[in-house]
Amino acid sequence: MTDYFEVHERDGAARLAELRLPESRETPALVDDVREDAGSLWAREREVPAGEESALTILPHRAFPGGTPDEVQEAFAVDYPDLDGPSAAVVSPETADDYGTDAYVLSNAQELAGHARAFVEGLIDTRESIPADAGLYLSGVATPANVSILAYAGVDLLDADHAVVKGTQGKYLTTDGERFLEDIEELPCSCPACQVPREEFGREDCAAHNEHALQTELRRVRRRIREGRLRDYVEGQARHEQWHTAVMRRLDQQYGHLEQRTPVVRQAELTAATDDTLNRVEIQRFAERVTTRYQNRFDNPLVLVPCSARKPYSESQSHGQFHDAIQFRAHTVSMTSPIGVVPQELELTYPAQHYDTVVTGEWTPTEREFVANVLEAYLDRNDYPRIVAHVPEGGYRDICERVEDSLGLDFEYTVVDHPTATESLSNLASTVSDALKYSKRERQHNTIRAVADYQFGEGAGDELFGEFRTGARYPKLRVNSNDGEQLAMLVAQYGVLSLTLAGARRWVDSDVPTKRIEIDGFVPHGSVLAPGVRDASPEIRPGDEVVIEGPKAFAIGRANMSGPAMVESSRGIASSVRHVTEQ
C-alpha cells in the first residue's frame, strides 16, 4: 500500500510520479534533502523510527553484498514496521517483495552501476517484485550523464551523493561525461556555481555545479517523460558512455518487461535516428502485429511502394502520383525503415504516421535486414495474384530481390530511374491496368477490419462486427450495425477503433479475447481508480480499449496503465471511461 507515492504518467518503464510531502515532489527527482536514514542494523540495533510527514524515512536495514546466498539474506531479514509518513525499505534483487512501504532502496545499486547486464537484471528483478506503484530509489549512482537512462529503466528516486563526491575529488560532471577540473579552461555551464572566474572555481564550487547539472538534467528527463519522448533522448544521450548504451540494449532485450509498460498509442512523434530505434517496443510491436494479426482482404495485385516523408503516406505528393497510376486496381503496401511494411489500411495506425526518420537514401545493413524480415513474414502469410515492386534501386530493390529469392516468388519491377519518373508511373499504370478496381465500400470495410485485426487480435476484423455499414468520411469512419446502431469509430489521430457500448457488447459476445476490468459495485464516471479494480486482464496495455464491468455497471474506456499495474496499484487512474450504463 503506497500512501505517499503516486504514479501519474508512464512512458515505457519510466514514470512521472509524486512523492507526497508537505511540499510534494515530482519524480524522477533527487531526495537527499528529504531523506531520513534510520541506519544499518549491521552496526548496531536501531530504534524503530516514528516516521514523519515531511521526510522519506529509510527503515532500519541490513544490506548484503551481491552474491550473498538467499538463505543468509533470509536469516538476517528485518521486519519493516508500519509508520506515519513516507517510508522506504532497503532490498536486494533477491529480497525484493511487497513490504507495504512507499518506496524501495536497491541496496547494491553502486555495485551494479557500470555492469550493464547485472544492472538491468537486478533492476528488473527488483521492479517486478515490488508493487507497480511503489517508488524505486537508487542511491549513490546518479550523474548528469546517466539519470536519463536510469529514469528510462524505471528508477524514480535518486540522490546527489555520487555527484557531490566526484565534485570534491575535482571531477566536473556534464551530460556528456566528466573532466578533471585542471583540464577545463572554460566553464561550459551557466549555473550559479559556475558564475565565478575560472581561477577562483574550486572543488566546493565543482560539487555545487555537479548537483545543479543533475537537477537540470532531471528537469529535462521529466519533460521528456511528460511528452512521451524519453526514448528518443536516451538513444542520443546513451552514446556518451559505453555502459549506458549497453544498458539501453540490454533493456531492449527485456522486451516483455518494456512491452507491458509501453502505450499502444501516443500523440508524440517518434524519432528514428539510429539502428537502435529498430529495437524499440513500438517498432517491434507494429511489425509483430502486421505479420501475425493482419490479413489482406483484397483480391487485387500487390504494389510495394517506398514510404514518403509526409504522413500519412496517402497525403504525400509521391503517393498521390502512385495512386493516380494505380486507380484502386491494386493493394498498396509501403516499405519503410524503421517500421517495416505498412499496408494501406494501417497508414494511420500508431506509429505508422508518427515517426520521423533520417532520409539519406542509404539504408544500413541492420535496416535492410529488418525490413526484409518483415516483408518476408508478411508475404509468407498473405497471398496475392501478382506482386509489383514499384521501388527504386538500392536498399528497396535489394530487399525485394532477397525476399523474392527466399520465398520463390516473382516480382514485377516497374521503376526506371525514380519511382515518380514519368516512365516509371506509366509502367506502373500499364502493369496493373487489367486488374479490376475495388469499390469504396470494399476499401472502407477492409480498413475497419484491418484495424480491428491489428488492435484486437487475429481474426477480430471478421469476428467483432460481422456485417456492418460504414458512415462518415475517411479517415473519421464510423462503424454502424445493419440496423443503424453505431458500434465504433476510427480515431484518425492514432488509427485505432474506439468502441461504443453496443460495440463493447459485440466484443464481449464474440470469440475475440476481451480485455476486461472487473470493478466493485459502483458506477464509474469519467475514470476508474486503481483501488476500485478487482481484477484486470494481464494483456491490457496502456492505451488499450477496455471493457469495464461490475455488479452495477457496464462501460467502455481506454486503459491508463497495464492490467498487472491496475491490480497491484493502490493509487492512480486505471482507466478512463467513455460510455457507461447501469446494470
- Compare residues 189 and 429 and give the one whose CB is closer to Zn ion: 189
Compute the least distance from the CB of residue 172 to Zn ion, in Å: 8
Identify the three-state secondary structure at position 424.
helix
- Compare residues 201 and 322 and give the one whose CB is closer to Zn ion: 201
Rounded-to-integer distance, Cα 487 and Cα 431, Å: 39
Compute the least distance from the CB of residue 196 to Zn ion, in Å: 10
> Using an 8 Å Cβ cutoff, are 265 and 494 in contact?
yes
Residue span binding Zn ion (CB under 5 A) among the ranges 103-111, 177-185, 209-217, 305-313 = 209-217
- Compare residues 120 and 194 and give the one whose CB is closer to Zn ion: 194
> Using an 8 Å Cβ cutoff, are 375 and 406 in contact?
no
Continuous segment of H or E residues that includes residue 334: strand 331-336
- Compare residues 153 and 173 and give the one whose CB is closer to Zn ion: 173
Compute the least distance from the CB of residue 175 to Zn ion, in Å: 12
Compute the least distance from the CB of residue 193 to Zn ion, in Å: 5
Rounded-to-integer distance, Cα 146 and Cα 166, Å: 14
Query: Checking phi first, is residue 304 left (phi over 0); if not, alpha (psi -120 to 50) or beta?
Result: beta
Lookup: cell for 328:
484502386
Lookup: cell for 244:
549506458
- The radius of gyration of the chain's CA atoms, rounded to the nearest angstrom, is 27
Residue span binding Zn ion (CB under 5 A) among the ranges 18-26, 195-203, 208-216, 322-330 = 208-216
- Compare residues 175 and 274 and give the one whose CB is closer to Zn ion: 175
> Using an 8 Å Cβ cutoff, are 325 and 429 in contact?
yes
Compute the least distance from the CB of residue 192 to Zn ion, in Å: 8
Residue span binding Zn ion (CB under 5 A) among the ranges 176-184, 191-199, 369-377, 548-556 = 191-199
Residue span binding Zn ion (CB under 5 A) among the ranges 188-196, 384-392, 513-521, 547-555 = 188-196
Compute the least distance from the CB of residue 209 to Zn ion, in Å: 4
Lookup: cell for 445:
470495410
Compute the least distance from the CB of residue 177 to Zn ion, in Å: 15
Among 78, 83, 189, 529, binds Zn ion (CB under 5 A): 189
- Examine residue 181 and tell whether it contacts Zn ion (CB under 5 A): no
Lookup: cell for 465:
462486427
- Compare residues 240 and 469 and give the one whose CB is closer to Zn ion: 240
Binding-site residue total for Zn ion (CB under 5 A)? Answer: 4
Lookup: cell for 507:
466484443
Nearest-5° angle of CA 112, CA 13, CA 62? 40
- Compare residues 198 and 418 and give the one whose CB is closer to Zn ion: 198
Among 20, 209, 231, 541, binds Zn ion (CB under 5 A): 209
Antiparallel, parallel or unpaired: β 302-306 and 270-272 = unpaired
Residue corresponding to grid cell 538467499: 70
The residue among 556, 473, 474, 450 whose CA lies nearest residue 465 is 450
Residue span binding Zn ion (CB under 5 A) among the ranges 201-209, 355-363, 415-423, 480-488 = 201-209
Single-letter residue type at 447: T
- Examine residue 166 and tell whether it contacts Zn ion (CB under 5 A): no
- Compare residues 209 and 329 and give the one whose CB is closer to Zn ion: 209
- Examine residue 171 and tell whether it contacts Zn ion (CB under 5 A): no
Count CB atoms within 10 A of the CB of residue 182: 8
> Using an 8 Å Cβ cutoff, are 343 and 336 in contact?
no
Among 191, 416, 492, 529, binds Zn ion (CB under 5 A): 191
The residue among 16, 17, 23, 95 whose CA lies nearest residue 55 is 23
> Using an 8 Å Cβ cutoff, are 70 and 50 in contact?
no
- Examine residue 194 and tell whether it contacts Zn ion (CB under 5 A): yes
Residue span binding Zn ion (CB under 5 A) among the ranges 131-139, 193-201, 277-285, 387-395 = 193-201
Compute the least distance from the CB of residue 560 to Zn ion, in Å: 38
- Compare residues 194 and 335 and give the one whose CB is closer to Zn ion: 194
Query: Footprint of Zn ion on this chain (CB under 5 A)?
Result: 189, 191, 194, 209
